[in-house]
Structure 1
Amino acid sequence: MIQNLPTEITDKVFGYLKETDQLQLAQVSQQLGCVFARHAREKYKSLYIREEETWSDDELKVILSLFGSTVDYISIQCTNVLNQLGELIEKYCNNLRYVKLQITNENFNAFKPVLNMTCIETLSLYNYDYRGIDLLQYVNPYCKNLHLDGISTAQGLHIRKLTHLEKLEVNEIRNIFEICSHLKKLRELTVGNGLGNVSDLKLDYLYPELEHLMLSFFEIALDLPVCSKLKRLTLLSIAYYIKKFGEIIGKYANTLKYLHLLPYYSKDEFYANNLIIVIRKCKRLEFLITRKGIIRVLFFSFLESLITALKENGFNTDRRLKMEVHCGKTDELKQELMNLFPNSEVWNLITLIQFDQMYI
């Protein structure tokens, strides 16, 4: 019988078999299971379970029982799953670090044990059609890194109780700044798809540890949160209803190093004028990424003001502000502006540089 063969021979036999046959043979005895585990090594370190290309329930049981301790990443993007799947993952995958789940009405109960696993470092939940408000109540309260997509405001209210979160990415939730103000350890916050959901009327919430705030497709009505340690501010396809948004960004003057500004509406002169205020106020600013049109307006309409603001901030030949065009073409713009303003003092104060050359 095959289990009586030397291990080296059995290992070679596994090499000639298709995966389905390998998994079937591994179930014959504990010895053959161990041989297959050595043969496959880290093949199942990352598991991708999808509707169109997945293993049978029995095969998945074998994989988890034999290789669970080596699995550090699981992505499950299917509606119908084994009812015991979450229990099996919880039992065998004690070194699991990254989990990505598509939540549906059909599979939510099966996933509950996974949500509470303490070994998980990053948890990503994509809510497809589950409407229960208990979606986040099963998440490990000590979770540090959470990515949420498709959850309702009612489901998102439970975020307040995940007070150990350090990094959060979330979409389409009203009053998100108030909700996240309860997360005193939060260091990175990304909020997206907020157009149509104007942000909180009150925005002077305190985020004591936040270092990176990213808003995309978002409407800002009045203000931004108070972040005493903010270093990076990324504003992509945002809509402002504030006349002096430069003053708002200037509230981070003592800490801000990196600003990525891409407005939703094309009001280049308005934003260029306000960037002068930002440059003047933010004494630690090192990097500025924005739209080509805004940089052009800075040169064509506000060049003297730009030079003055740069000098007031302490920029010189040894400390230059690094500027980059959103979505590339920086070199093209640089050549154009150097041809038009070849002797301007501004070239002693700034550097137009490609994004992949910047250390951020």
Structure 2
Amino acid sequence: MKVEDFDFDLPEELIAQTPLLDRTSSKLLIADYPNNLTKHETFSAILGELNAGDCLVLNDTKVMPARLMGIKEETGAHVEVLLLTQIEGDHWETLVKPAKRVKIGTKITFGNGLLTAVCTELKEHGGRIFRMEYKGLFFEVLDQLGEMPLPPYIHEKLEDKDRYQTVYAKEQGSAAAPTAGLHFTKSLLDEIRAKGVKIAFVTLHVGLGTFRPVSVDSINDHEMHSEFYRVSKETAQTINEVKNAGGKIIAVGTTSTRTLETVATKFEGKIEDDSGWTSIFIYPGYEFKCIDGMITNFHLPKSTLVMLVSALTSRDFILDAYNEAINMRYRFFSFGDAMFIKGRNY
């Protein structure tokens, strides 16, 4: 299967640059594969699509204000540092621009010395390992100094950085938001619970690899980036109970999907409390072991995310739905509109 098979014409003006004022007012395309139909709603209508006894699974990762603007101590040159992953303790893997200015031993200061980063290792493609030096709590310092790392295709400044967080964000560690969850408000989640739908949380810290284009011709040659996930005992119990009772498991976003399918693959169809690193790559031909449906945003052409949502139904069904969304001027990607996909076994 070729990467070109997942290409489509997306007008650039449909890539959403800013979030809507009301999270639940985005468009919602309901893509019902078993009945071969689509319909168009606003996101608040998701309440009518969920049934008592179903389970909605959300990713509670929290986006770090991971973009830091610093000064090289020796020369005063400006350097941008993007935090990717906390390796251990105060050591972080990062991306640096311009990378050529930063060697082992280079010191970069941020906020007039509130934070200092010392380079301890060089990685490929501008990657650097830094040891962070500061007083107090690291994430409090980061909240004071950092900026939200918006995706490269968003060119507008984000006025309210909370709009790039889900309302249930809890576990600090993502370099990007799990954007399908941005449509939910606390009141909508309360209404969903009141209807008898179970809500469970997993954690997957989203890496910047999610934005990297696929650079090979054949899907089989693509290597996915690795991301940290965690599933609690409580979540595992809830999902297994719902499945055993015949309820549907609806993942909110590709990150929740990848977490659940990683664990279900590891434990032969069951969900157990577990944590680790996943590089699972889901594309057509994959047999889903946990989820029945997915709430997701609209993704970019030839991306691994389009391949993943195609696996839940079929490539032709998803690309037809995408073309319908384009014709109806849906907004794409992080701040865009949403899609509820009812998969093959829904």
Q: Which has the larger radius of gyration?
A: 1
State whether TM-score is above 0.5: no
Taking structure 2 as the reference length, the TM-score comes to 0.28
Taking structure 1 as the reference length, the TM-score comes to 0.27
Q: Return the structure number with greater strand share.
A: 2
